[in-house]
């Protein structure tokens, strides 16, 4: 005999992994930067960035939950894993700062991101990574007076 109770709507927790993990990374980021010795930089960069990451992650979590409760189909697992891979890549970038420094970590992150996005031309990856990393370093070091 079949059950006469209506099927429960289930939330696709796989889709919720990416925003949840991003919230965890935001918390780790907060721990790393909350004791910055220059308070003016703490107000200028880390806190607003942290707040934006947390708010956007909560919005995405809310969309996943509400969408699934409304009966909308979830996204394919491949797409969720693809997003998760980028979050892990970003987390690795943050961890590399302390080990190899800001500029080398930025160059590696840009190169890895380009590979992640499907760029396969080695010269393009090298050029964009080095110029992009250098530009990011110049903005932080000279325009914002951040000491590395």
35/51: higher pLDDT: 51
Domain membership of residue 50 as a residue range: 11-75
The more confidently predicted of residues 54 and 49 is: 54
How many of the other CB atoms lie within 10 Å of CB of 15?
Answer: 23
Q: How high is the pLDDT of residue 121?
A: 94
The pLDDT of residue 36 is: 64
CB contact set of 41 (below 8 Å; sequence gap of 6+): 144, 146
Structural domain includes residue 115: no
pLDDT confidence of 134, banded at 50, 70, 90? very high
Question: Does 45 map to a domain?
Answer: yes
For residues 85-114, give the mean pLDDT.
88
Q: Is the pLDDT of residue 72 over 90?
A: no
Residue 16 to residues 37, 57, 70: CA-CA distances in angstroms? 35, 9, 16
**pLDDT number for residue 7:** 47
Average pLDDT value for residue range 119-146: 91
Length of the chain: 148
Query: Is the confidence at residue 83, as pLDDT, over 80?
Result: no
Give domain status of residue 129, yes or no: no
Q: Within a domain: residue 70?
A: yes
Residue 127: pLDDT band (50, 70, 90) is: very high
Structural domains counted in the chain: 1
Give a yes or no: residue 56 inside a domain. Answer: yes
Within 10 angstroms of residue 111's Cβ, the number of other Cβ atoms is 19
- Domain annotation covers residue 106: no
On whether residue 103 sits in a domain, the answer given is no
In a domain, 105, yes or no: no
Mean pLDDT of the chain: 78
Average pLDDT value for residue range 33-59? 72
Residues 6+ apart with CB under 8 A from 136: 106
């Amino acid at each position: 005999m079949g059950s006469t109770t209506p099927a429960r709507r289930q939330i696709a927790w796989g889709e919720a992994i990416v925003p949840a993990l991003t919230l965890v990374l935001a918390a780790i980021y907060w721990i790393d930067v909350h004791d910055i010795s220059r308070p003016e930089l703490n107000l200028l960069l880390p806190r607003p960035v942290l707040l934006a990451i947390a708010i956007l992650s909560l919005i995405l979590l809310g969309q996943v939950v509400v969408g699934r409760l409304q009966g909308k189909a979830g996204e394919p697992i491949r797409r969720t894993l693809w997003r998760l891979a980028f979050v892990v890549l970003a987390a690795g970038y943050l961890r590399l700062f302390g080990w190899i420094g800001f500029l080398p970590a930025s160059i590696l992150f840009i190169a890895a991101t380009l590979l992640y996005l499907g760029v396969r031309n080695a010269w393009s990856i090298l050029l964009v990574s080095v110029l992009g990393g250098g530009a990011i370093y110049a903005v932080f070091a000279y325009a914002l007076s951040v000491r590395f």
